[in-house]
Chain A
Amino acid sequence: MLFAALLTSCNTMPKPESFFQLSPSSAKYKALQSRIIETSKDTELLSASAAVLQDLGFQIEESNTYAGMLRAVKERSAREYSQEIGRVFVFILGIFAQTAIVIPVDLHQQIAATLVMHPIENSSSRFNVRIVFHRTIWKSDGSSGSQAIPPGLQSMEMIYDAKIYQQFFAKLSKSVFLEIHQI
């Protein structure tokens, strides 16, 4: 009973009212994901951003100059040593219990970036650039004895690592400079 209660409490669905409510941390994340960049043309800034994303191995999926938006993705393997070791460990434990247990591990990931920019009020040469990184992970299939654990269990997470954003904006500043001076 307690286990069932715990399970249901873990899977409680969120209230729809919260979907469009700003969370207490949204201002913090916005600051992390945004920078002010000085440039005279918005198209130059957008093209410099696309160049940085290409340098980072992203494929540009969508671009919209009117909205000042770029969307890019890159596909990578999501395999991690720690998960593989855990999988082998559980399998060995299963042998002792005379059941073959293969736990699902992360298999593949798609890292996506959405970039938007808009000019700052009363300034023709300053733009606010915001980029959001997130990743979608696909798990492999698994099995417990004769019962199969289906593949394709997908999870998604936002990336809030400050270093990633700092690196991106450092590269963007350089790229904007190169773009302006046609280097």
Chain B
Amino acid sequence: MNCRVLILSFFFILQACSTGSTKPPENLLSLTEAQMKIRSYQTRVFDLSDQQKTLRAVVSALMDLGFIVERVNAPLGLVTAAKFAGSGHSGFVEATVTIKPKGENQVEIRANAIFNTKPIEDPKVYQNFFSTLQKSLFSS
């Protein structure tokens, strides 16, 4: 009996200690070097001045890739699309593309994607997207 009380009290002390140390890390919202790297390969600058044409080309590229375009916000230059992937549609890919004018004759396009709630951080994935987008931008 005494042993049981001892184990229980030890457990409560442990729990009390653990609740005291659940402070969020200080660098939770700070930009790390890795994030800057990810951002750099998610972004490309194109020599284009027509924002509307660029937006339509982004939508077209996503549709070519089998994505379903869910939302388009023209003033923000934002396109959100998603598709099921894999055998038996076991995976779900979501992509967000933003189009921002850069100066008078350039646009900055940033794409980021998640696969089954996990962010995709492989640069090759974004290279493939931009190569498809390039075809769509300069063929229509």
> Which residues of A pack against B, CB within 8 Å?
10-14, 16-23, 26, 30, 62, 64, 66-69, 71, 112, 114, 116, 118, 120-121, 128, 130, 132, 134, 155-158
Instruction: List chain B residues, Cβ under 8 A from A16.
Output: 115, 120, 122, 125
**Residue of chain A at shortest CB distance from B59:** A116
B interface residues, Cβ below 8 angstroms from A: 52-53, 55-56, 59-60, 63-66, 68-72, 74, 79, 83-91, 93, 113, 115, 120, 122, 124-126, 128-129, 132, 140
Known contacts A17-B122, A20-B125, A157-B89, then 8 further A-B pairs from the complex at CB < 8 Å, ordered by chain A residue: A13-B86, A17-B124, A30-B64, A67-B79, A112-B68, A120-B140, A121-B140, A158-B66
* Chain A residue at minimal CB-CB distance from B120: A16
A sample of 26 inter-chain contacts (CB < 8 A) reads A11-B87, A14-B86, A16-B120, A16-B125, A17-B124, A17-B125, A19-B120, A20-B125, A21-B65, A21-B128, A22-B132, A26-B64, A26-B65, A30-B63, A30-B64, A62-B72, A66-B52, A66-B55, A66-B74, A67-B52, A67-B74, A116-B69, A118-B53, A121-B140, A156-B89, A158-B66
Given A20-B128, A64-B74, A69-B59, A14:B65 Cβ within 8 A: no
Does the CB pair B56–A10 fall under 8 Å? Answer: no
User: Would A116 and B63 count as touching, CB distance under 8 A?
Assistant: yes
Bound CA–CA A64/B80 (angstroms): 13
Give the total number of A-B pairs whose CB atoms are below 8 A apart.
98
What is the predominant secondary structure among interface residues of chain A facing chain B?
A: mixed
Q: Which single residue of chain A is at the shortest CB-CB distance from B51? A: A66
Distance of B89 from chain A, by nearest CB (Å): 5
